[in-house]
Amino acid sequence: MRLEKIIATALKNADDDHYILSLMVAKRANELAEGAQPLIKADKNKIKLTDIALMEIAEGLIELDKITQD
């Protein structure tokens, strides 16, 4: 899937708010950097952590509620 489509889908899962999406991506990317395993099939050594986070959000695996509870 093209990155533009992934971002558009992820944005819908972030209540169409660019600021919220950026916070969600940043938090998830930090979790991945600290050792969390990707929720999708992705090699952390070959794909940027922010791209993995975007894909997870686009697929609905990371939700806004989970981000704000921490």
Q: So what's the pLDDT on residue 65?
A: 73
Q: So what's the pLDDT on residue 18?
A: 94
For residues 20 and 41, give the distance between their C-alpha atoms in angstroms, rounded to a whole number. Answer: 24
- CA 2 to chain CA centroid, Å, is 15
Give the model confidence (pLDDT) of 9-51 as tens digits: 999 999 999 999 999 999 999 999 999 999 999 999 999 999 9
